[in-house]
A and B are shown apart, each in its own frame.
Chain A
């Protein structure tokens, strides 16, 4: 059972465009929603994260939008650059004794020059 559903599976954007990746979750106990960025041959690295008490968080060109009632959150990359080409993973985590991070299936983003 996939607890965090991510779409699209792949995305091609022109340089300067906006990249949008969406995630939906089912477990209302999730209380932390990070996005990880993974370049080929490297491990994932934390990009940006949000908690359900805010609807938006922005760090530079990267913004998370969070809709608690719809149980959805998305990553927006403004002014996308070729260097942003990577696989992006959304994830979710519950507070409690089992501190397990559940990942979405990933989105391969390609930004064309």
Chain B
């Protein structure tokens, strides 16, 4: 059983399209995150949710909209995709906001052509 699973693993799309990435964790954690890893491997937090409530929004463009239907799921929808959105997007979870150990998914490699 994969603790934090993301789909799809690869996503290739044209500029201007809208796409979604789904994330699910079966660890019973309260807090979930989206991180972006650029081509130079730099990891940067985008969003965090705690019990479906948005906690962190790191000045991410409005084209990115996270949605948490329940505390086990955190999806990421991206509108009007741009070339600069090409990156690997990682979902992660932790027991709660105060727990410092993050469990990451395997990532979704997004390529915008």
Binding site for B on A (CB under 8 A): 32, 34, 41-46, 49, 87, 89, 93, 98-101, 103, 105-106, 108
Contact = CB atoms under 8 A, between A and B. Distances in A.
B42 A106 contact: yes
A41 B43 contact: no
B10 to A, nearest CB: 11
Nearest to A102: B45
Contacts of A100: 45, 48, 56, 58
Interface in B72-113: 90, 92, 97-98, 100-107
27 contacts: A34-B101, A41-B106, A41-B107, A42-B107, A43-B107, A44-B43, A44-B90, A44-B104, A45-B103, A49-B101, A99-B55, A99-B56, A99-B97, A99-B98, A99-B100, A100-B45, A100-B48, A100-B56, A100-B58, A101-B100, A101-B102, A103-B42, A103-B43, A103-B44, A105-B42, A106-B41, A106-B42
B104 A45 contact: yes
Given A43-B106, A105-B40, A32 B100 contact: yes
What's the dominant secondary structure at chain A's contact region? Answer: strand
B42 to A, nearest CB: 5
Nearest to B104: A43
B105 A43 contact: yes
B32 interface: no
B56 A34 contact: no
Contacts of A89: 43
Q: Place the interface of chain B in its size category.
A: 20 to 34
Contacts of A98: 56
B4 interface: yes
Given A43-B90, A43-B92, A43-B106, A101 B40 contact: no
Nearest to A41: B106
A43 B4 contact: yes
Contacts of B56: 98-100
A89 B98 CA distance: 21
Contacts of B44: 103
A108 B58 CA distance: 26
